[in-house]
């Protein structure tokens, strides 16, 4: 375990899988050395819930506000205004998660593009960083990101699991990269374990993406295989091992980077 208090930059704590025992989940997170959690907003309603939760835990939690590409079909003429309202609260630190997902295609692609571009414009207007999701949509995603990148305050490609050229192009656009427990999967994470060596240390942040992406290398499986912020140190340790760095030094860097990126106080 790291002695440095960690920051989980992406946890879906408003997910119903946390509905009954959130207090215990938070207690375990603190015990594991997680000092701050950025709750991911994935729809108008989930973003509102995330803000509420963050307001109940000042200093320990922040939130993002956005519409996930899976939810893009619900994007409407007032969505941007509603998100802007949430984003005016000090606890809401980024626009997102937003982006494109052509892997699942839960929303039609044209609607995903509209919804993503509108949120990029919102982030430019409000000068908040963006929390980005991309799956199997690199070309279209990169084109839109490029169009707005110079005006964006910051951009993190969360849960990066893409190809090496995609990573290079994100870094060329001065994006930050969010690393999850995907790294702990010996099979699916094999490429990522090599790729993470080439990410500049000041562009790296860590996240659980709880309740998803439970690390595969755990000797003791959590109940119902649900991931939670208390497992963030597992991601940190895997990342340090892949990069050949000390856990302590890496922890310090990711925390400093996360604080600066999201504008979190000390
Ligand atoms: Zn995502």
Residues of the chain scoring pLDDT < 70: 1-2, 266
- 3-class SS of residue 211: coil
pLDDT score for 266: 64
Ligand 1 centroid, distance to 12 Cα (angstroms): 10
pLDDT score for 48: 98
pLDDT score for 224: 87
pLDDT score for 147: 98
Ligand 1 centroid, distance to 137 Cα (angstroms): 13
Ligand 1 centroid, distance to 47 Cα (angstroms): 14
Ligand 1 centroid, distance to 162 Cα (angstroms): 12
Ligand 1 centroid, distance to 158 Cα (angstroms): 6
Q: How far is CA 158 from CA 24, 32, 36, 120, in A?
A: 26, 22, 17, 15
Ligand 1 centroid, distance to 48 Cα (angstroms): 18
Q: Which residues contact 180 (CB under 8 A, 6 or more apart)?
A: 10, 158, 159, 206, 207, 208, 209, 213, 235
Pair 37, 29: CB distance under 8 Å:
yes
Ligand 1 centroid, distance to 70 Cα (angstroms): 10
Domains of the chain as residue ranges with CATH: 6-262 (3.20.20.140)
Q: What is the gyration radius of the CA atoms in the chain, in angstroms?
A: 17
Ligand 1 centroid, distance to 133 Cα (angstroms): 5
pLDDT score for 265: 80
Pair 177, 203: CB distance under 8 Å:
yes
pLDDT in tens, 105-125: 999 999 999 999 999 999 999
Ligand 1 centroid, distance to 107 Cα (angstroms): 14
Ligand 1 centroid, distance to 159 Cα (angstroms): 6
Ligand 1 centroid, distance to 180 Cα (angstroms): 10
Ligand 1 centroid, distance to 231 Cα (angstroms): 18
Ligand 1 centroid, distance to 132 Cα (angstroms): 7
Strand order in the sheet with 130-135: 6-11, 34-39, 61-65, 92-101, 130-135, 155-157, 176-179, 204-206
Ligand 1 centroid, distance to 201 Cα (angstroms): 22
């Amino acid at each position: 375990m790291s002695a440095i208090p960690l920051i989980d930059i992406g946890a879906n704590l408003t997910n119903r899988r946390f509905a009954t025992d959130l207090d215990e989940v938070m207690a375990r997170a603190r015990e594991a050395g997680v000092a701050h959690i950025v709750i991911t907003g994935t729809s108008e309603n989930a973003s509102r819930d995330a803000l509420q939760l963050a307001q109940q835990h000042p200093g320990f939690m922040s939130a993002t506000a956005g519409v996930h590409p899976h939810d893009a079909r619900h994007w409407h003429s007032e969505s941007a205004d509603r998100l802007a309202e949430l984003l005016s609260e000090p606890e809401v630190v980024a626009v997102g998660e937003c982006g494109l997902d052509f892997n699942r295609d839960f929303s039609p692609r044209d609607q995903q593009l509209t919804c993503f571009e509108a949120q990029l414009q919102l982030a430019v207007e409000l000068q908040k960083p963006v929390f980005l999701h991309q799956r199997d949509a690199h070309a279209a995603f990169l084109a839109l990101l490029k169009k707005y990148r110079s005006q964006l305050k910051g951009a993190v490609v969360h849960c990066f699991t893409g190809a090496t050229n995609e990573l290079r192009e994100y870094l060329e656009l001065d994006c930050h990269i969010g690393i999850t427990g995907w790294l702990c999967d010996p099979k699916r994470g094999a490429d990522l374990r090599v790729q993470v060596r080439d990410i500049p240390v000041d562009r790296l942040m860590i996240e659980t993406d709880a309740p998803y992406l439970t690390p595969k290398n755990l000797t003791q499986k959590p109940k119902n295989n649900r991931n939670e912020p208390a497992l963030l140190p597992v991601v940190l340790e895997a990342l340090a091992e892949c990069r050949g760095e000390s856990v302590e030094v890496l922890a310090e860097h990711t925390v400093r980077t996360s604080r600066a990126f999201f504008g979190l106080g000390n």
